[in-house]
Amino acid sequence: MKKLIVVLLVFVALTAMAEDVYIVKTKVSTEGENLWATHAVVPIEAVSVFVPTYFTKNGKNISYVRSYEFSFTTGTAQSVKETKSGVLYRYTVSIQPKKTLPKAKKHIVVTIHVNELGTGGLYAESPGLLALHRAILAVSYKTGYAWITSVQFDNRNVFKVSVALTDRL
C-alpha cells in the first residue's frame, strides 16, 4: 500500500507544472492597495496560456476558447520591478492539466519588452497573453491550439516567451 501511495505522489508531482506567471498592475498609492495587489489572485487568463487554447483567426481578429481542463494553485505575488505604468508581479503557479499536453508542430519564441506591458493595450497585462497573441498572428494556421512552454525574464527589461502551436490535437 505504501508503494502505491508513493507511486501516485510521484505521478502527481510529475504531471504538475510549476510556472512563473507575470502580471503588471497599475501603480498603487496606499499601503492597503499594495497589500491587496500582493495578495490578489492571479487572473485565470494569464494562467490558462500554459495549457492549449483553441483559436480561430480571421485576419488580425482572433477568437479564443479555453478548451483544456486544468487546475492550479498559486502563492502570493512578489513585486519584481516598477515600470512606468505599474508594478510587475510574479506568481509561482502550479498547474495540473487533466491530460498530457499534445505534441507541438511549431515553436515560436516571442520577445516582449517590459515597457509594452501595462499600457492598457490588448493583452498588455501579461507577457504570456501578449506573446500567445503575437505567436498566433505569426503562424499561417486559421484554427489551432497554442500554449506557452516557457517564460524567461532577464530581471531587467526583456521576456523571452516560447509558444507551442499545433493545428489539431
What's the whole-number average pLDDT of the chain? Answer: 84
Q: Three-state DSSP class for 163?
A: strand
Sheet holding 143-153, edge to edge: 61-66, 53-58, 143-153, 158-166, 106-113
Cell 519588452 belongs to residue? 113
Q: Which of 40-49, 87-96, 140-149 has the lowest mean pLDDT?
A: 40-49
Q: Three-state DSSP class for 112?
A: strand
In whole angstroms, give the CA distance from residue 101 to residue 97. 8
| Top-confidence range, 66-80, 83-97, 130-144 | 130-144
Q: What's the predicted TM-score (pTM) here?
A: 0.81
Mean pLDDT of 65-84: 87
Percent of the chain scoring above 70 in pLDDT:
82
pLDDT at 133 over 90: yes
Per residue in 93-115, pLDDT tens?
999 999 999 999 999 999 999 99
What is the model's pLDDT at position 75? 79
Q: Are 164 and 149 in contact (CB under 8 A)?
A: yes
| DSSP conformation class of 67 | -
Q: Which residues pair with 17 in a beta bridge?
A: 95
pLDDT at 161 over 60: yes
In whole angstroms, give the CA distance from residue 81 to residue 94. 22
Within its chain, how far is the Cα of 94 from the centroid?
A: 12
Return the C-alpha cell found at 14: 510529475
